[in-house]
Amino acid sequence: LIGDRSCPVRRSVYVYVYAVCLGRRSLASFPSKSHPSPVILPPPSMFGMGDGQTESKHHKTPPSPCLLRRHLARLKSSPYETLLLDGGTGEELFLRGVPDDRKIWSATAIVHERYHAILEEVHRSFIRSGSQVVTTNSYGIVPGVGFNDGKEVIHLTSLAGEIARKSVFRGSGDIDKEEQQALVLGSLGPLVESYRPDLIMDHDEGVLHFAFPIEGLYKHVDMYIIETSSTTKEAFQAIDALAFFNRSPSRAPRPLLVSFTLKQNGKIRSDESVVDAIPAIIKYCDERDVEIVGVLFNCCEPEAIDKALVEIQRNKHIHGFLHHPPSAGNDEPEHDEKNSEHNTKVLLGAYANRLMPVQEDWTISGSTSPNHFRNDLSPERYWSDFVRRWCLCHGTGDEECLSSLQRRGGLQIVGGCCGITPGHINVLRNGLSKSNTEKR
């Protein structure tokens, strides 16, 4: 019955029957006043794959909560601590011979087993370059490109998680003594299109579809990340799906990162301001008991991230929601008294792409060729002109940055998106390492 996702009547009957069986009429127990109660989700065991388990020949070692908590404690302890993400997995796959299928894009490397080894090597190449995190290649396993069957989505996203999990371990011959080198982020991509807030699913349908990758990835990831969100509305869908998934007492909930894609003016593509979106996301997660760790910006030009960071720096009312707000000078920023003691605070981060600006009406379903890369964002320039200032200072030149180490850009989780290579990540790693040495 659930296999026919195109039939709303069958779906509604299933939801009702499931709700009756559990004695739960809705998710109204969540105290949200900002959105109608979402639809009841199917149980995780509906496909015989409870708690995200699928049969696999890949790596079995579970995530390490200790490694994750050490990283989070380090980041929260000092504004100068950073977490280095990976770069653009999809483009690296294509450079290494995986076909650029304009329909399912990077999901080709999951669907076809012959590309699994290439995907694992892409993950490992980022780790060798300095990444402390790899992101699962599950971004494109979504209904918008034809993955509508829940069982298939769970299976494919589980494969993506397993390949990523395998890549972060340094083999020792004894599986119980293997050392985890990096965290694994479970990517939850936009369900329809990456840059189109006008094309998102309605809330209940979106919640239902986000449930499948959440289940498939669960056993293999340290954190989830909602990527390239073009509106808070779609992020809310994923948060509701995760909140429901977390209700099982047999699962240890995974923390969450939420990342927005920006327009050239520094606003989210839905025209929402970043200073409005950050507290809205925190509030929504708090109401649903979802642990939100950070808010990031990705898959946009680094110049757009610059503008968003300026807006965050200038709007003091947002600083109370941040562990380490941007600082415009040697003094600590003045927090808005109303929000300065807000219980939930988040880290800030960003990972830009190397694409030419994406037009507002662009869709992958309507594209016949890849987007063009800009030729002015070398690894050295990405570090010196952007990431260095995001992390260490918000000045306009090297001399100013070096002379004022108290000046902070406020971003602590950094990396790259489409077109950002292991070479870029290596330069970021070296730059951050050198800066930390100078600081001491």
Q: Are 336 and 316 in contact (CB under 8 A)?
A: yes
Return the structure tokens found at 335: 């927090």
Report how far residue 193's alpha carbon sits from residue 140's, in angstroms, rounded to the nearest whole number.
Answer: 10
Does the annotation list 391 as a binding residue? Answer: no
Q: Report phi then psi at 416, rounded to 5.
A: -150, 160
CA atoms within 13 A on the CB side of 221: 30
Does the annotation list 418 as a binding residue? Answer: yes
Report how far residue 438's alpha carbon sits from residue 421's, in angstroms, rounded to the nearest whole number.
Answer: 26
Tell me which residue has tokens 């509906």. Answer: 46
Tell me which residue has tokens 């694992």. Answer: 120
C-alpha to C-alpha distances, 223 to 14, 53, 103, 217, nearest whole angstrom: 30, 17, 28, 10
Return the structure tokens found at 12: 């509604």
Buried b (16+ CB within 10 A) or exposed e, 194-215: bbbbebbbebbbbbbbbbbbbb
What is the secondary structure of 90-157 as a DSSP string? Answer: HHHHHHTT----TTTGGGHHHHSGGGHHHHHHHHHHHHHHT-SEEE-TTTT-SGGGT---HHHHHHHH
Strands 169-170 and 179-180: antiparallel
Phi-psi region of 141 (alpha: psi -120 to 50; beta: other; left: phi over 0): beta
What ranges in 373-421 are assigned the alpha helix state H?
A: 379-381, 388-391, 398-403
Return the structure tokens found at 340: 């300065």
Does the annotation list 393 as a binding residue? Answer: no
What is the secondary structure of 18-77 as a DSSP string? Answer: HHHHHT---STTS--SSSPPPPPPPPGGGGS-GGG----SS--PPP-HHHHHHHHHHHHH
**DSSP assignment, residue 189?**
-
What residue numbers does the annotated binding site for Zn(2+) cover?
299, 417-418
